A and B are shown apart, each in its own frame.
Chain A
Amino acid sequence: MDNKKNSLTVKDCINIGVFAAFYIVIFFVTSFIGYIPIMLVVLSVLCGIVCGIPLMVFFSKAHVFGMVTIFGIIMGLFMLVMGRPWYSILTAVVAGVAADLWMKTGEYKSISKAVIGSGIFSLWMLGMIMPLYFGRDAYLLSVAEGYGEEFANTLEKITPGWSFVLLVVLTFVGGILGGLLGKAVLKKHFKKAGMA
């Protein structure tokens, strides 16, 4: 509705809050799997797919630079409090800004750019597994201490260095899949109902 305004309005802030709440609820429910360390690895992919739906609806409301960035910042802050590695704030802010800039190139009107934006934004979830790759030894050591040697060894074996790149790609793809899902929902429901 307010697409003509070029600055952030109160309505935009409220939209950010509403969709952040939604996104967090869905993310939270999906992410319960991630508390089991093994599943942490696939968590980012799964969440990327499921959370893509509310994310796309949010993207359809974004019309000015800053909205997606703020969304990312809020995600990061939330992760901080939820006990995910502090890398998460970093990745959340970076992913938020990146997705925002990307969508800006399409003047926030291009839905295909939004789908890719979903992929970019979903990369923030990698923050959760970063300690496994950056600062690897320290992390594995703490896992060994907390969960036992065997566990740490298994974890180490299934996550060789190059698997990080694989995860980045998979998360990105997961985000895109979520974006496509969201695009379908937008088209099937929101656009048809005149609410897009």
Chain B
Amino acid sequence: MIGINNVSYTYHVTDSEGKDIYREVLKDFSLKINKGELLVLTGGSGCGKTTIIRLINGLIPNYFEGKLEGCVTVDDMNISAQPIYETAAKVGTVFQNPKNQFFNVDTTSELAFAAENRGEDPKDIIKKIEKVCESFRLSDLMDRSMFNLSGGEKQRIACASIAVTDPDIVVLDEPTSNLDDKGIEDLRDILIKWKSQGKTIVIAEHRLYFLKELADRVLVLDGGKAVKELSGKEFDSLSLEETASLKIRAVDEVYKKKFGDEELRSLLKSNGTIDVKDLSFKYSDGVHGIRINDMALPKNSLVAIVGNNGRGKSTFARCLCGLNKKAKGTVDFEGKEIPLNKMTDRCFMVMQDVNHQLFTESVKDEIMLSIDSNDEETCEKKAKEAMEVLDIGSLSELHPMSLSGGQKQRVAIACAIASDKDIIILDEPTSGLDYYHMVEVAEVLKKLVKLGKTVVVITHDTELIDECAQCVVKLKKYLI
């Protein structure tokens, strides 16, 4: 049983000037979690759910700096007062980003890692790995490089590596943020398995639909306080209006609007088309790939590209954008036939990890970098316009890397606008975003369409599609 007793926590960080900043996240917070319970913590960004996770797994106070009042107990162990390696024996953690939580280069070593750290007998460890391998069905992932796995596969290995040490409690911090549909499905299977083993599970999440019929209790947090507590049944039956009013994501994964072929056809007729012709690409394994004979996308509209496979969608986006050198094909755009590798002049892609595309030391410079003009005045004007559309004028002098994820994304989109490119492609712009910010992104995308751009969104976020997409293209039939 986990007990959080009258805990107050204030983070202590130093800002760019060297000044101390204190950020109070929890105040006099108490929570009891029963053994074998699957508790979901949800709420807007900054509500405190991640902090609670860190209290349970010991990262607070062993890693993070700040002021802690109250105490956290797990079965009579005082977590806040013991070294983290002792807590690690009882509490396993799955983090948000599959790419950055593995310590080893190959999968088998990663599975053994936690057990090796505890000094367990190698023979026992090997037996345990075999057992976990079987129950998690990982045989095809053994002895492979972590770098060749998909996000979902990496997350499965992360979960399996915890399963090897078999802790009683597992905490997960937004584990589906970077996963595609299949990855989320696999994670759900793992949670079901763990629950059946009697483990206590605490998940902090935005994405809620996969927890339907799984959660025993759901806590909605805001500003460090629980504003609503729901039983599993109550949670399962939440309607879209109710979740919107609670400012959390939907529990049901169903489209409100209709996105059928008819809608697509009428849109193509009214707006004109961008035709992707003869696109062919094969992955390095020589077997899988993409083959598109003719795909028509409506101009000046918001197209959502969906499909189960996260990799396939991103690959398609990169092909369309001209970033994929091995892809062949052409795009009929505004009467011209453009080969794929020249599409970088027409397309701007906002990548899933925005950090890769921010280079300069101020938002303004970043936007100016995208402007294709030698005239100082034009540049200034364009930059100002772009910042206005995205409402980031106040951030103009700040360093892009100091901004929040959502703000960084808006800077990237501002660069897209300033670049005057006609097609803007966004790769999973709302993964890991809470309800409020997802709606914000939808509003921005709608603005882009009004400006005359063609917006292509690669996503599996049903709510986002409902909010702003005008048509949906399924990628499945084009994947080999």
Query: Could you say which of B13, B398, B402 has the most chain A C-beta atoms within 10 Å of its C-beta?
Result: B402
- Chain B residues contacting A196 (CB-CB under 8 Å) are 16
> Which residues of A pack against B, CB within 8 Å?
1-2, 4, 11, 188-189, 191-196
Contact of A192 among B13, B64, B65, B361 (CB under 8 A): B361
B401 & A193 in contact (Cβ 8 Å cutoff)? yes
Known contacts A194-B15, A194-B402, A189 near B361 by CB under 8 Å: yes
A191 & B401 in contact (Cβ 8 Å cutoff)? no
Known contacts A193-B16, A193-B399, A194-B402, A188 near B361 by CB under 8 Å: yes
CB of A114 to closest CB in B, whole Å: 15
A191 & B65 in contact (Cβ 8 Å cutoff)? no
| Interchain Cβ contacts under 8 Å between A and B, 14 examples | A1-B64, A4-B65, A188-B361, A189-B401, A191-B16, A192-B361, A192-B398, A192-B399, A193-B400, A194-B16, A194-B399, A194-B401, A194-B402, A195-B402
- CB proximity to A under 8 Å, residues B336-351: none
B65 & A1 in contact (Cβ 8 Å cutoff)? yes
**How far, in whole Å, are A192 and B403 apart by their CA atoms in the complex?**
11
- Chain B residues contacting A11 (CB-CB under 8 Å) are 63
Query: Could you say which of A11, A188, A193, A195 has the most chain B C-beta atoms within 10 Å of its C-beta?
Result: A193
**How far, in whole Å, are A6 and B15 apart by their CA atoms in the complex?**
22
- Chain A residues contacting B13 (CB-CB under 8 Å) are 1, 194
CB of A124 to closest CB in B, whole Å: 27
- Chain B residues contacting A194 (CB-CB under 8 Å) are 13-16, 399, 401-402
Query: Could you say which of A4, A189, A191, A192 has the most chain B C-beta atoms within 10 Å of its C-beta?
Result: A192
B65 & A2 in contact (Cβ 8 Å cutoff)? yes
Q: Which residue of B lies closest to A1 (CB)?
A: B65
CB of B368 to closest CB in A, whole Å: 16
**How far, in whole Å, are A76 and B400 apart by their CA atoms in the complex?**
37
**How far, in whole Å, are A173 and B13 apart by their CA atoms in the complex?**
35
- Chain B residues contacting A188 (CB-CB under 8 Å) are 361
Additional pairs, 12, CB under 8 Å, beyond known A192-B399, A192-B402, A194-B14: A188-B361, A189-B401, A192-B361, A192-B398, A193-B399, A193-B400, A193-B401, A193-B402, A194-B399, A194-B401, A195-B401, A195-B402
Q: Which residue of A lies closest to B397 (CB)?
A: A192
CB of B401 to closest CB in A, whole Å: 4
Query: Total number of A-B contacts with CB less than 8 angstroms?
Result: 32
- Chain A residues contacting B398 (CB-CB under 8 Å) are 192
- CB proximity to A under 8 Å, residues B391-417: 398-402
- Chain B residues contacting A2 (CB-CB under 8 Å) are 65
- Chain A residues contacting B400 (CB-CB under 8 Å) are 193
- CB proximity to A under 8 Å, residues B1-22: 13-16
Contact of A189 among B15, B64, B399 (CB under 8 A): B399
CB of B140 to closest CB in A, whole Å: 29
Q: Which residue of B lies closest to A185 (CB)?
A: B361
Query: Could you say which of B14, B63, B64, B399 has the most chain A C-beta atoms within 10 Å of its C-beta?
Result: B399
- CB proximity to A under 8 Å, residues B307-321: none
**How far, in whole Å, are A43 and B16 apart by their CA atoms in the complex?**
35
CB of B49 to closest CB in A, whole Å: 21
**How far, in whole Å, are A188 and B14 apart by their CA atoms in the complex?**
17
- Chain A residues contacting B402 (CB-CB under 8 Å) are 192-195
Q: Which residue of A lies closest to B17 (CB)?
A: A191
Per CB-CB distance, the 7 closest pairs between chain A and chain B, nearest first, are A193-B401, A192-B399, A193-B399, A193-B402, A194-B16, A194-B402, A188-B361
- CB proximity to A under 8 Å, residues B35-84: 63-65
- Chain B residues contacting A1 (CB-CB under 8 Å) are 13, 64-65
**How far, in whole Å, are A194 and B361 apart by their CA atoms in the complex?**
12
CB of A63 to closest CB in B, whole Å: 13
Q: Which residue of B lies closest to A189 (CB)?
A: B361
**How far, in whole Å, are A191 and B18 apart by their CA atoms in the complex?**
9
CB of B251 to closest CB in A, whole Å: 36
Q: Which residue of A lies closest to B15 (CB)?
A: A194
A192 & B63 in contact (Cβ 8 Å cutoff)? no
Q: Which residue of A lies closest to B398 (CB)?
A: A192
CB of A105 to closest CB in B, whole Å: 20
**How far, in whole Å, are A194 and B21 apart by their CA atoms in the complex?**
11
**How far, in whole Å, are A10 and B467 apart by their CA atoms in the complex?**
45
Q: Which residue of A lies closest to B400 (CB)?
A: A193
CB of B41 to closest CB in A, whole Å: 24
**How far, in whole Å, are A2 and B16 apart by their CA atoms in the complex?**
16
CB of B136 to closest CB in A, whole Å: 27
**How far, in whole Å, are A16 and B14 apart by their CA atoms in the complex?**
22
- Chain A residues contacting B401 (CB-CB under 8 Å) are 189, 192-195
CB of B87 to closest CB in A, whole Å: 14
- Chain B residues contacting A192 (CB-CB under 8 Å) are 16, 361, 398-399, 401-402
**How far, in whole Å, are A159 and B99 apart by their CA atoms in the complex?**
49
- Chain A residues contacting B63 (CB-CB under 8 Å) are 11
**How far, in whole Å, are A4 and B66 apart by their CA atoms in the complex?**
12
**How far, in whole Å, are A116 and B402 apart by their CA atoms in the complex?**
28
- CB proximity to A under 8 Å, residues B347-380: 361
- Chain A residues contacting B16 (CB-CB under 8 Å) are 191-194, 196
Q: Which residue of A lies closest to B65 (CB)?
A: A1
**How far, in whole Å, are A52 and B176 apart by their CA atoms in the complex?**
39
Interface 1/0 per residue, B132-153 and A, CB below 8 Å = 0000000000000000000000
**How far, in whole Å, are A194 and B65 apart by their CA atoms in the complex?**
16
**How far, in whole Å, are A2 and B64 apart by their CA atoms in the complex?**
8
**How far, in whole Å, are A1 and B400 apart by their CA atoms in the complex?**
21
- Chain B residues contacting A193 (CB-CB under 8 Å) are 16, 399-402
CB of A177 to closest CB in B, whole Å: 21
